[in-house]
Amino acid sequence: MNYTNSSVGSGSRTGRRAFEFGRTYVVRPKGKHQATIIWLHGLGDNGSSWSQLLESLPLPNIKWICPTAPTRPVALLGGFPCTAWFDVGELSEDCPDDFEGLDSSAAHIANLLSTEPADIKLGIGGFSMGAATALYSATCFALGKYGNGNPYPVNLMTIIGLSGWLPGARNVRNKIQGSHEAARRAASLPIFLCHGLCDEVVPHKYGERSNHALSLAGFQNLAFKSYDGLGHYTVPKEMDEVCNWLNARLGL
């Protein structure tokens, strides 16, 4: 495992504000490099903790890239600054989404993937806010562009979201169904969602709603798994199923 320093200077900078991304941790494949997956941490965390877990998984042909989100004021925490992929106030249908922050993080992630060899399969996964960012990236891939209209540059092969939600869920269906090409890309992208029934941070209903919104938007290769007794964390059984999903969908 090693790390590099990354910032928004590589194309993720926005016009109004700019936050510097933290340290990026890389877990190199122990076998033949066949796939690269970006894994995104949750609110207030960093790439290091997940890189240690991912390194222990029996997936020798995957390279994991674990970036660290920028430190920014977060409305949910009363403006207290911490690592966050975007600003969030509350989890509700009425709360406005920070599309500028989402676009900035999605572009940073895509930039990290864009330097991978052409024959490598690419994916994005994450936990909590990281899962939300992964799912937003999935919609950008389907639409072929970020929310700000800039083209989305990479070809995604899989998305994994643990204990997360779908930002902008209200408008995803109309956007994707308005384009035959977007609908085709959405239908072809495998997405695996997992959520604990006892999650008190991101309640299970938000996972269900996200699954429903993605399905209505035309993401047909979609699986949603619920876990009895699971709160806002991950357990070995869940990670075992993530491994099985990746092996099957990526042909590892």
Which residues are known catalytic residues?
Answer: 128, 199, 232
Cα torsion 127, 132, 133, 134: sign: positive
Radius of gyration of the chain (CA): 17
Residue 175 · residue 140 · CB < 8 Å: no
Strand order in the sheet with 23-27: 2-5, 23-27, 62-66, 35-40, 121-127, 158-162, 191-196, 222-227
Strands 35-40 vs 23-27: parallel, antiparallel or unpaired: unpaired
Q: Long-range contacts for 172-178 (Cβ within 8 Å, ≥24 apart)?
A: 172/139, 172/213, 172/214, 172/217, 173/213, 173/216, 173/217, 173/218, 175/139, 175/143, 175/217, 176/139, 176/142, 176/143, 176/217, 176/218, 177/217, 177/218
**Tokens at 43, concatenated:** 């609110």
Distance CA 217, CA 22 (A): 33
Residue in the block written with tokens 């690419």: 122
